[in-house]
Amino acid sequence: MEELKKSLERVKHKRNPHLHSDLHLLVDEVRQKFGETALKSKGSFSFYLGFFKRLGVQKVRRILAEVEQSDANDPKKLFWWKVKQEQ
């Protein structure tokens, strides 16, 4: 039980204070899953945010769940293909 408390405390301290909405948290989560680190252009936070704003949190979560359940060789590529199909 103590280990769980310590683990939760570490997570609390690592939270980014600039992520203040569900949409921002989702963008951060997806970028971490796909290993994105770009600061500008393709793969950046604003790049993802632009697409996710148009689709909405629920639709992006649905697409992400579909990608996670699939047995894709490249989940990132499949995710962006599905995002493109939604537009």
Is 47 domain-assigned? yes
* pTM, 2 dp: 0.74
Residue 12 lies in a domain: no
pLDDT of residue 44: 92
Looking at residue 63, its pLDDT comes to 94
Query: Considering the domain boundaries, does residue 17 fall inside one?
Result: no
Q: Which of 17-31, 53-67, 73-87 has the lowest mean pLDDT?
A: 17-31
Q: How confident is the model at residue 13 (pLDDT cuts 50, 70, 90)?
A: very low
User: 6 lies in a domain?
Assistant: no
Residue 1 lies in a domain: no
Q: What is the pLDDT of residues 35-79, one digit of tens each?
A: 988 889 888 999 999 999 999 999 999 999 999 999 889 999 999
Does some domain include residue 9?
Answer: no
> Is there a domain that residue 46 lies in?
yes
Count of domains forming the chain: 1
Q: Buried b vs exposed e over 53-85: b needs ≥16 C-beta within 10 Å?
A: eebeeeebbebbeebeeeeeeeeeeebbebbee
**Domain, as residue range, for 29:** 22-86
